[in-house]
């Protein structure tokens, strides 16, 4: 697929998504469009942001480099451990080798059902910080990586966000 075809495909996806309700964001099946790995992470996250009328994220090579550096460290143990770096961060682990960026993003976005905007909190005992990082209004850039871990330990994926979000007491959008 040429760069122009990829751009047209992404634009088409965004136009189709402008009618998505904020209460039920739907993620496009980006894998079927033959998009790059970067776009497989970026397009569905921007679809969720678009549903909330939050400006789209842009791919950042520096953040991608950081994500790849950290994912490479996790390649040997596949541990679901954060890097504790300077960026916002979502991580994902799945057993086996077939996990895709869309599946990682879907897992993070699925936390939306636990987020309570009015109280700016998660439902009792639930996690929703991956979702709120994706839709954090002030975040502008993203970089992600995916590695298959050694010895069949699974797949590790990470996205880093700049500026980071999830500041205590602040709403994401």
Tokens of 100: 């895709």
CATH class of 37-162: alpha beta
Instruction: Write the pLDDT tens digit of every residue in 135-155.
Output: 999 999 999 999 999 999 999
Instruction: Write the pLDDT tens digit of every residue in 77-129.
Output: 999 999 999 999 999 999 999 999 999 999 999 999 999 999 999 999 999 99
Is the pTM higher than 0.75? The answer reads: yes
What percent of the chain is predicted at pLDDT more than 90? 80
Helix (H) or strand (E) segment spanning residue 158: strand 155-162
Helix (H) or strand (E) segment spanning residue 37: helix 37-51
**Does the pLDDT at position 15 exceed 60?**
no
pLDDT value, residue 75? 98
Under 8 Å between Cβ of 137 and 172: yes
Average pLDDT along the chain: 87
Ranges of each domain in the chain: 37-162
Least confident among 33-42, 43-52, 156-165: 33-42
Is the model more confident about 12 or about 80? 80
> Residue 65's CB: how many other CB atoms inside 10 A?
13
pLDDT value, residue 29? 52
* pLDDT band, residue 58 (cuts 50/70/90): very high
């Amino acid at each position: 697929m040429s760069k122009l075809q990829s751009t047209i495909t992404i634009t088409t996806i965004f136009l189709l998504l402008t009618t998505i309700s904020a209460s039920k964001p739907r993620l496009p099946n980006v894998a079927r469009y033959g998009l790059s790995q970067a776009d497989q992470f970026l397009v569905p996250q921007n679809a969720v942001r678009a549903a909330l009328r939050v400006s789209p994220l842009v791919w950042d090579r520096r953040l991608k480099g950081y994500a790849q550096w950290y994912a490479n460290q996790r390649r040997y143990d596949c541990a679901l451990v954060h890097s504790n770096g300077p960026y916002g961060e979502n991580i994902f682990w799945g057993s086996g080798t077939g996990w895709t960026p869309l599946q990682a993003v879907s897992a993070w976005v699925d936390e939306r059902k636990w987020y309570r905007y009015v109280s700016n909190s998660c439902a009792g005992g639930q996690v929703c910080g991956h979702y709120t990082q994706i839709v954090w209004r002030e975040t502008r850039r993203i970089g992600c990586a995916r590695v298959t871990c050694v010895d069949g330990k699974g797949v590790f994926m990470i996205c880093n966000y700049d500026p980071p979000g999830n500041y205590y007491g602040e709403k994401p959008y």
